Amino acid sequence: MVNYRYLGSSGLKISEITYGNWLTHGSQVENDTATACVHAALDAGISTFDTADVYANTVAEQVLGDALKGQRRASLEILTKVYWPTGPKGPNDSGLSRKHIRESIDGSLQRLGTDYVDLYQAHRYDTETPLEETMQAFADVVRQGKALYIGVSEWTADQIRAGRALADDLGFQLVSSQPQYSMLWRVIEGEVVPASTEVGVSQIVWSPVAQGVLSGKYAPGAELPAGSRATDDKGGATFIKRFLRDDVLERVQGLRPVAEELGLTMPQLAVAWVLQNPNVASAIIGASRPEQVEENVKASGVTIPAELMTRIDDVLGDVVER
Ligand code: NDP
């Protein structure tokens, strides 16, 4: 089963593996496969689910809500997000204004089929809205019982510090940050992790398998595997491209002996690696098939010895983004 970790300085425990539905639900995969993935996650002991209003233009929230129907609400932690910089039409259909936050949470709750989300996250930082306004709006959302905790995503160390300080003043808990983090993408280690640790904020990290690249299935010089995200013309292909370079793919193949030494598969090694960071509360895994959930979830509870952590650094060398 899956281990639990506290979210930041709060009393909320979340499963150290979260299931997320970006690019899959309402897009890459049919609804019955989406439901099968959610049920595989539940069967494996995952209780934390991450989505966003913007995923598949709101459809992903609906698909997740439908797939979770009938589950005991108290046994789930449901996470969603507000504000994506591009896309929506009207002038107030975006941003972190009081108006948009108020309207967005109601839409998310309706689609998810729940009275409250456990964690409501600012998907990006909005440079055009005063942070005070955003934080007051989040305080209202918490006071109204529509969200229990507040988080942010891809905010800088200074933005996290400022947000947390305002939240403390306003009397609600800003406890998480959701950044990209994997063996190949370690940008948060320099500033975001130290600042977050200092103020009681955890990381819930996205793309721990680098969107499938760290599974080792993309071999250098070979054709892209049929049906993989890299071949998905609905959006996945554009995001994964940064990793689809022969120098990266060759280094990734070098991780295979490390995984074998630990008795792990490559995706399990990738997920276990992000969980070695004590500031990480959970790794959000994506899946296009239930078997991927069943495989990746086994990374929970794995300890990678220091000597192998060093070997991973040596193998990957300068293809790591820091
Ligand atoms: P991953 O790095 O876990 O990539 C998941 C994809 O990798 C799967 O859909 C699958 O794609 C492939 N894969 C996974 N496991 C295996 C396996 N065992 N064998 C072979 N291939 C495998 O994470 P995601 O990029 O999906 O992101 C996870 C979540 O993070 C999202 O759902 C979302 O909740 C969150 N997120 C948040 C963002 C933010 O800005 N806050 C941005 C992006 C994501 P396939 O089979 O199609 O090749």
* Tens-place pLDDT, residues 231-243: 987 777 788 999 9
Boundaries of domain holding 178: 4-217+270-303
Question: Residue 62 pLDDT more than 90?
Answer: yes
Q: What is the pLDDT of residues 117-160, one digit of tens each?
A: 999 999 999 999 999 999 999 999 999 999 999 999 999 999 99
Is residue 53 one of the residues assigned to a domain? Answer: yes
CATH number of the domain to which 96 belongs: 3.20.20.100
How many angstroms is it from 139 CA to the middle of ligand 1? Answer: 31
3-class DSSP assignment, residue 85: coil
Domain contains 320: no
Q: Find the 247 Cα to ligand 1 centroid distance in Å.
A: 21
Domain assignment present for residue 109? The answer is yes
- Assess if residue 322 is contained within a domain: no
Q: Is the CB of 20 under 6 A from ligand 1?
A: yes
| 282 within ligand 1 shell (Cβ under 6 A) | no
Residue 319 lies in a domain: no
Residue 187 lies in a domain: yes
From the CA of 281, how far away is ligand 1's center (Å)? 17
| Residue recorded with tokens 């039409």 | 89
- 93, containing H or E segment: none
What tens digit of pLDDT does each residue of 185-207 get?
999 999 999 999 999 999 999 99
Vertex 49: Cα angle to 321 and 122 (nearest 5): 60
Residue predicted with more confidence, 87 or 1: 1
- The ipTM of this complex is 0.99
Please check the confidence at residue 69 and state whether its pLDDT lies above 90: yes
Residue 229 lies in a domain: no
Q: Which member of 4, 19, 55, 149 is catalytic?
A: 55
For residue 116, being part of any structural domain is answered with: yes
Number of folded domains that form the chain: 1
